[in-house]
Amino acid sequence: MSRLDNKVAFITGGSRGIGAAIALKLAEDGADIAITFTSAAGKAAEIVGAVERLGRRAIAIKVDNLDAAALEAAVNEAHHKLGRLDILVNSAGVYSMDTVDTLTLEEFDRVMFIHVRASFVAAKAAAALMGPGGRVISIGSNLGEIVPFPGLVAYATSKAALTGLTKALARDLGSREITANIVQPGSTDTDMNPANGDHADGQRARMAIPRFGQAKDIAGLVAFLAGEEGRFITGASLTIDGGANA
């Protein structure tokens, strides 16, 4: 048996980047997979197909993380179609780069809603369906701890808030043997932040290991937390950034 056999994972933003890598890794470890996507229907279908080729069940649900009712309904739909829910991964995210003098309230709210409010909505809905051994794992950022350059007011604030939400969830859910942790990637080679991008050299200069991480690196840490080995880890912030914050 694989370590996640008979488990079901729900991954927001699972059609691309880190979320897609997590979906595939958890499927490789035996889990059935539900992912959400906003606009990349073709990429979502590719992930569903890849999971099915691994011998696991998979569904993709179109959801805007700004729509709390739709996100809650998606969690319930995944539970209904796949029969249970054991692992929630809050991976959907956006990047915002404005300084305090240019950042609009609307953009601040958008980033906070997608990273924090939606994670709360999904965690509340998922926790109501989980039994002992459930996992809530959120994808934060090392920029929630250290802000090395201007223009990160909304992004860094939202990721720091996500850490607070995670610690509070760990306290609220611990008596039910449900863990809550946050994984904090640094520079990771994705469409959002490619390793050959305009700002990549500056990011590498901050790192003890001067190269971008791969999405599969983040997925491996998530899989560890989702498995039996992670059963006594909760309320933790695990940074995986090549030593950028060291």
| Residues catalogued as catalytic | 155
Cβ of 149: how many Cβ atoms within 10 Å? 11
User: Distance between CA 92 and CA 62 in Å, rounded?
Assistant: 12
CB 212 within 8 A of CB 187: yes
User: Distance between CA 101 and CA 41 in Å, rounded?
Assistant: 36
DSSP E strand stretches across 193-245: 237-240
DSSP bridge pairs for 136 = 88, 180
CB 184 within 8 A of CB 239: yes
CB 224 within 8 A of CB 230: yes
Cβ of 146: how many Cβ atoms within 10 Å? 14
User: Distance between CA 69 and CA 246 in Å, rounded?
Assistant: 40
DSSP bridge pairs for 12 = 90
Cβ of 53: how many Cβ atoms within 10 Å? 10
Cα angle: 62, vertex 38, 97; to 5 degrees: 160
